[in-house]
Structure 1
Amino acid sequence: MIRNLIFDWSGTLADDLAGVLHATNGVLVHHGRVALSREEFRAVFRLPYTEFYKEMLPDACIETVKEIYMAHFPADSAAVPLLPHAREFLQYAAATGRRIVLLSSAPEEHFEAQARANGVRDFFEDAFCGVVDKREGIRLLLEKHEMAAEETAFIGDMRHDMESAHSAGVLSIATCTGYDSAVVLMQAHPDVLVPDLSRLPRLLGGWHVQLANHGHHFPVATVGALITNHRDEVLLLRTHKWSHRWGIPGGKIKRGESCETALRREVLEETGLALGEVTFVMVQDCVEPPEFMRSAHFLLLNYTARCLESLPQVVLNDEAEAFQWLPWADAMRMELNIPTRVLMEEMERRGLAPTQVVGALQP
C-alpha cells in the first residue's frame, strides 16, 4: 500500500515552463548564446540542471548562472498556475491520509511563493527545494521522515525523477504534463505512466481508502514544551502545520529514545535552544485535531522547560515561520492552537504559570 507521496513541483504540479524558459534564455543570451524556442528547450533540457548548463555553457560559473536565472525568472508568483487536476489530486491524497512531501530542483523561494499563491502550501509536510541531484535528495528525504521505500511513490515529469525513484527503491510514477515527453519518460522505465494526475486516485485505491495516521493503527507519541526565559516570557512558534496558529515546539519520539531526550532534540532542531530543567505537566489525547495539516491522532506529552541561556537566540528551522517571546498574559491572548491553549489553561489551573509561581514566592 502506498502511504507516502513525494511530488516534484515543476511540470508535475505547477505549470512554470514559460517562466523557466524565460529565465533560461536570459542566462543563454547573457553568455552570447541564441535563445531557445519552447520546443527546442524541451528537447535539450534535462536534470540535474548543472549537467544541462555544463553542456550548453561549458565555461560558465554555475553560481553566476544561478544568479542570472533568478534575476530573469518572472516575479509574479500568481503567473505560475497549477496544472489541471493537481489541486484535486492533492486533496485526494490528503483526504485518504497520505503523507505528502516535495522534492524539487525549483528554488525554495519560487516554490514557497507559487504554492502559497495557489493555496496549496499547507498540503506539504516538508519541502526539499533547490535539489541538484534528486537521487541523493530522495534518500535524505526518506531517512529524515522515516518513510519505508516500499510504501512510497515519487511522482514526477522528467526522466531524472524516474531514475531517482529507482535509485531509492520507491514506486516511480511519471506524468506527461511537464518537461519530458512520454517517449523520453519511457526510456527511464517508470513503474506507472499516466497522461495526467486525474488517473492516479483509481490506481491508488480510490476514495474509500483511509490510511489513518499515515499507515499507523495506533496514536503517534509526541513531546512538546512551553519554554520560558529568564524574564518569565514564554516562547511561541507559528507554523503552517497548525493552520498558522501559535504553539510550542516539539515533535515525534523516535524508537529507542526517552521522552526527555526526544524533547531536548526536537527543541534544539526547531529553535536552536538548549534546555535546562524540564518538568512534566500532562498528556493530551489529540484525536483528529481540526487545525492540523492532515489526519492524525497524537498522544502529546507536555512539559515546561527553562532556557539555559540568559539571552537565548532562537534559530528556526523550516518547520516554523515566526516566533515570539511574550509575557504570559499576552501569550494567552494569541491565536493559539488548541493543544497549546489546553496546556496553558491546565498550568493556570494548577498554579504553574510563571506569574503564579513568582507570586507564590513573594512575601
Structure 2
Amino acid sequence: MIRNLIFDWSGTLADDLAAVLTATNGVLGHHGRAVMDREEFRRLFRLPYTEFYQDVLPGISLESVKEQYMKHFPSDHSVVPMLPFAREFLEFGVATGRRMVVMSSAPEEHVRAQAEANGVTHFFEAIWGGIIDKRIAVHELLAEMKMRPEDTAFVGDMRHDIDAGKAGGVLSVAVATGYESVALLMESVPDVVLPDLSKLSLLLGGALPVATVGALIFDSKGKVLLVRTHKWQNRWGIAGGKIRRGESAMDALHRETMEETGLEIGDVELVMVQDCIEPEEFESSAHFVLLNYTATVVGDDDIEVTLNDEAEEFCWVLMEEALNMDLNKPTRWLIEEVAQKKR
C-alpha cells in the first residue's frame, strides 16, 4: 500500500508556468537573448534546469541566472493557483493517513510562498525546494523522512520526476497537467500515467474513516451555537472539522472552532463518539468518526461570531428550541445526549 507521496510542485500541484515563463524571459532579456513564447518554452525546457540554461545561455554563470530569475519572478505569489483537483487530492491524502512531502526544483521560498497563498502548507510534512537533481536528492529525502521505497510514490509532470522516482525505487506516477506532454513523459516509462490528480485517489484506494471533532458551544445564558452549511444540505449543525495528521483532537477542536466561528472556547468535555457511515445528508460519500464535545465561550460578555466560507449563517438558541429545527442527524443525536445528561 502506498503510504507516502512525494510531489513535484510546478505543473503537478500548482500552475506556475506563466510566472516561470515571465522570470525566464527576464533572464533571457537581461542577457540580450530573444524571449520565448509559451510553446517554445515548453518544448525546450527540461530538468535539471542547469542543463536548460547551459543550452539557452551558454557561458552565463548559474549565479547570474539565479539572481535575474529571482528578480523577475512575480512578487505576488497568489498569481500561482493550485491545479484542478490538487486540493481535493491533498484532502484525500490527509483523510486516508498518507504522508505527503514536496520536492521541487523551484526555489524553496517560492514554493512555500505559493503554498501559503493557496492555504495548503499544512498538508505537507516537509517542503524541499531548489533541488537541482532529484535523482540524487530522492535518496536523501527517503532516508531523512524514514520512508520505505516500497510504500512510496513520486508524482510529477516531467521526465526528470519519473527518473527520480525510478532512482529511488518508488512508484513513478506521471500527470499530464504540466510542462511536458504525454509523449515526452513516456520516454521515461513511468509506472502510471494519469490525465490529472482526480484519478490518483482511485489508484491508491484504501480510503479510511475520517476523524473529526466538533463542539456544542454554550454561552452564559445557556444558549447553544448552531451553524447552517451547504455541506449538510443546508441543515443546522455544530462547528467542527477534520483532525490533521500529527494534531491532537483537542488542538484540532480549538483550531476548527476558531477557523469556523472566530470563537475561543473553554470548559471542553467529551460527550460522545459517533460512527457516521455514508451519511445521506452529507454532500458526498463519506465515513466519519465524530468526536463530539461541549464547550463554553471564552469572553462571553462580547461574543462576535465570524463565519468562514463553509457556513451560510449562525444562530444562538436554547437546546429545546434547537430540537425543533432542521438539524443534521449527528447534531440532533448530540443535543439529545447532552439534554439527557443534564436531566
TM-score over 0.5 for the pair: yes
Alpha-carbon separation, structure 2, partners of 1:77 and 1:40: 24
Alpha-carbon separation, structure 2, partners of 1:118 and 1:3: 24
Does residue 23 (structure 1) correspond to residue 23 (structure 2)? The answer is yes
Q: Is the 8 A contact 1:6 1:102 kept in 2?
A: yes
Match in the other structure for 1:190: 190
Q: Is the 8 A contact 2:95 2:209 kept in 1?
A: no
Q: Is the 8 A contact 1:155 1:172 kept in 2?
A: yes
Q: Which amino acid aligns with 1:191?
A: D
SS class of match (1:35): coil
- The alignment yields a C-alpha RMSD, in angstroms, of 2.2
Does residue 133 (structure 1) correspond to residue 84 (structure 2)? The answer is no
Alpha-carbon separation, structure 1, partners of 2:67 and 2:112: 18
Alpha-carbon separation, structure 2, partners of 1:81 and 1:148: 31
Match in the other structure for 2:6: 6
Unaligned stretches of 5+ residues in structure 1: 211-289, 299-334, 339-363
Match in the other structure for 2:59: 59
Matches within 5 A, 1:58-97: 58-97=58-97
How far the C-alpha of 1:42 sits from its partner, in A, is 0.2
How far the C-alpha of 1:191 sits from its partner, in A, is 0.3
Q: Is the 8 A contact 2:95 2:208 kept in 1?
A: no
Match in the other structure for 1:102: 102
How far the C-alpha of 1:48 sits from its partner, in A, is 0.4
How far the C-alpha of 1:29 sits from its partner, in A, is 1.2
When normalised by structure 2's length, the TM-score is: 0.62
How far the C-alpha of 1:165 sits from its partner, in A, is 0.4
Alignment CA distance shift 1:209-1:54 (3 Å):
farther
When normalised by structure 1's length, the TM-score is: 0.58
Q: How many residues align?
A: 222
Alpha-carbon separation, structure 2, partners of 1:171 and 1:27: 35
SS class of match (1:147): coil
Does residue 294 (structure 1) correspond to residue 294 (structure 2)? The answer is no
- Percent identity of paired positions between Structure 1 and Structure 2: 58
SS class of match (1:172): strand
Alignment CA distance shift 1:46-1:6 (3 Å):
same
Matches within 5 A, 1:252-331: 293-294=244-245
Alpha-carbon separation, structure 2, partners of 1:204 and 1:19: 31
Write the deviation string for residues 206-256 of structure 1: whole angstroms up to 9, x where unpaired.
53488xxxxxxxxxxxxxxxxxxxxxxxxxxxxxxxxxxxxxxxxxxxxxx
Q: Is the 8 A contact 2:11 2:179 kept in 1?
A: yes
SS class of match (2:155): strand
Q: Is the 8 A contact 1:97 1:295 kept in 2?
A: no
How far the C-alpha of 1:33 sits from its partner, in A, is 1.0
Q: Is the 8 A contact 2:81 2:118 kept in 1?
A: yes
Unaligned stretches of 5+ residues in structure 2: 211-240, 250-264, 269-343
Alpha-carbon separation, structure 2, partners of 1:207 and 1:180: 30
Does residue 168 (structure 1) correspond to residue 168 (structure 2)? The answer is yes
Match in the other structure for 1:144: 144
SS class of match (1:12): coil
Alpha-carbon separation, structure 2, partners of 1:162 and 1:99: 19
Q: Which amino acid aligns with 2:10?
A: S
